[in-house]
Amino acid sequence: MEWLLIPFEVSFVQRALVAGVLVSVVCAVVGTWVVLRGMAFIGDAMSHGMLPGVAIASLTGVNLLIGAAISAGVMALGVTALGRSRRLSEDTTIGLLFVGMLASGVIIVSHSRSFAVDLTGFLFGDVLAVGSGDLVGLVITLVVVGTVALLGHRSFTALTFDVRKAHTLGLRPRLANAVLLGLVTLTIVASFRVVGTLLVFGLLIAPAAAALFWSRRITTIMLIAALLGIVATVGGLLVSWHGGTAAGATIAAAAVLLFFLSALLSFVRRRFRSLTPEIESSR
């Protein structure tokens, strides 16, 4: 039993645990809408689109979160502006911006002597180096995301399932979509310090997707996704401590593993239910 508790007696692991829990809850709320609306590609593009801003901030000594926020904001505005074009599909515009921003970031970072270290830190984060300031930022993010999600729940639901009805009810689906995109941006910017841009996508998508196997109610999906994210955080930190693996990557891998486990258990459950009537009829 000691092997479960020993890692969390260390202060930096305790901070990592708190940060992971906060990120899990934020990602559960926003990730549910991302999964339900089929916005996974744009989430991935947003996470990588921050690289130019982070690279410039790193080279100039500016706070990385400021650089990430500016770059993500440019990416979000670009997606919104180009998305109005009737000649290009949304996937095409997102793909073009994704590649352009990522390539620009790599070019900028390549001028740094610590290119490999900077890029690795950006992509994979360092959850064990999270400080009290990062935790405060995550708490603020959680409050903002929770408040906006609560106030916009009706609009987001209508936007997800029936855009025409949203128009009819005067819920302004375009505005709702822009706000939702803003929540995705905020979540990624606030979380990349913990698990990196490459891995925050895993916490944003995997728990929410896994929760879909167990519920169809939006609030319940968010709750299950948050619990799965927390389990992935605790499990990832334990494996990282005892196995000497990268903490952020291990947490993200645990989240993806929970998705496949949920898919398997859901399949077994459906299979058992389909066989039950046959067993009873044969008696």
* pLDDT tens track for 70-90: 888 888 787 777 766 666 676
* pLDDT tens track for 224-283: 999 999 999 999 999 988 888 888 888 888 999 999 999 999 888 888 777 666 555 555
Q: How far apart are CA 125 and CA 203, in angstroms?
A: 13
- Whether 276 is in a domain gets the answer no
Residue 63 has pLDDT above 70, yes or no: yes
- Whether 87 is in a domain gets the answer yes
Q: Which two tokens stand for residue 90?
A: 């949304």
Range of the structural domain that residue 67 is part of: 2-122+131-266
Q: How far apart are CA 145 and CA 70, in angstroms?
A: 18
Burial class from Cβ neighbours inside 10 Å (0-12, 13-18, 19+) for residue 111 reads: exposed
- Whether 242 is in a domain gets the answer yes
Q: How far apart are CA 13 and CA 7, in angstroms?
A: 7
- Whether 278 is in a domain gets the answer no
**Helix (H) or strand (E) run with residue 64 in it:** helix 64-82
- Whether 22 is in a domain gets the answer yes
- Whether 175 is in a domain gets the answer yes
Residue type, 248: G
* pLDDT tens track for 8-29: 888 888 998 999 899 999 999 9
27: domain CATH number is 1.10.3470.10
Q: How many domains does the chain have?
A: 1
* pLDDT tens track for 113-165: 555 545 666 666 778 778 888 888 899 999 999 999 999 888 888 888 877 77
pLDDT for 49 equals 77
Note whether 130 and 15 are within 8 A (CB).
yes
Q: Which two tokens stand for residue 224?
A: 């299950």
Note whether 47 and 220 are within 8 A (CB).
no
Q: Which two tokens stand for residue 100?
A: 């352009």
Q: How far apart are CA 183 and CA 225, in angstroms?
A: 17
- Tell me how crowded residue 236 is: count the other CB atoms within 10 A of its CB: 27
Q: What is the mean pLDDT of residues 91-108?
A: 79
- Whether 41 is in a domain gets the answer yes
pLDDT interval class at 6 (50, 70, 90): confident
- Whether 271 is in a domain gets the answer no
